[in-house]
Amino acid sequence: MNIAFIPARGGSKSIPLKNIKELNGKPLIYWTTKSANDAECIDKVIVATDCAEIKNTVLSFNLPKVEVYDRNPENAQDTSSTESVMLEYIEKTGLDKNDNFFLIQATSPMLKSEHIEGMYKKFLETEVDSMFTGVLEKQFHWKFGEYGVKPVNYDYRNRPRRQDFEGLIAENGACYINSVSNILRDRCRLSGKIGFYELPAYTAYEIDEPDDWIIIQELMKQL
């Protein structure tokens, strides 16, 4: 079985109740929930929340594959990891260890059902243990060093042309695939041999701050 799991806690400080704040005519969480529901490879969609308002909003979508899981408030704090609620759900419901677990972030509304299907196809074809979505960045990165800054991914004395530059892969946080058995063993969303599924550059944006909301809202209107 392929299970899509969408964590959606109620306590967001930067954008209060952002998961049900309206984005282009629909609550934010609608977009990824609908994409997961419409992906042919997904058998069940679980929205895990500690908030009655989010729960009622999600149920009002009347999407056939979607269920709401009442997550433990202890795993819905500012300091709680996503893995903590993943493990809570897996252990409490006794999922089959052979099931595939798709972690999908509600804050990535640009994720489409065809992205999920394409990712799963590549996951099967490449026979990796786990996979994440991301975008290819062709930017020159620097990091802080002991004496100022130093380059991470290129030689500034031999600056490559953009078309010849390999670039870096940046996680966009939209979707992850792993098996239930791997998650239980490693307590992590990614395990073993890790694969990467490339998404369009515009999916690099996640909604964490008010400025992200403005950018994504305009991108969605254009696309």
107-132 per-position pLDDT tens digit: 999 999 999 999 999 999 999 999 99
Domain that holds residue 88: 2-222
Contact 31, 25 (CB under 8 A): no
Average pLDDT over residues 157-163: 89
Count structural domains, the chain: 1
CATH number at residue 27: 3.90.550.10
**Cα separation, 65 vs 175, whole angstroms:** 18
**b/e map of 104-138 (b: 16 or more CB within 10 Å)?**
bbbbbbbbbbebbbbbbebbeeeebbbbbbbbeee
Query: Of 9, 159, 161, 187, which is the active-site residue?
Result: 159
Asked about 159 being catalytic, the answer comes back as yes
pLDDT above 90 for 12: no
Task: Label residue 8 by pLDDT band (50, 70, 90).
Answer: very high
Query: Radius of gyration (Cα) for the chain, nearest Å?
Result: 18
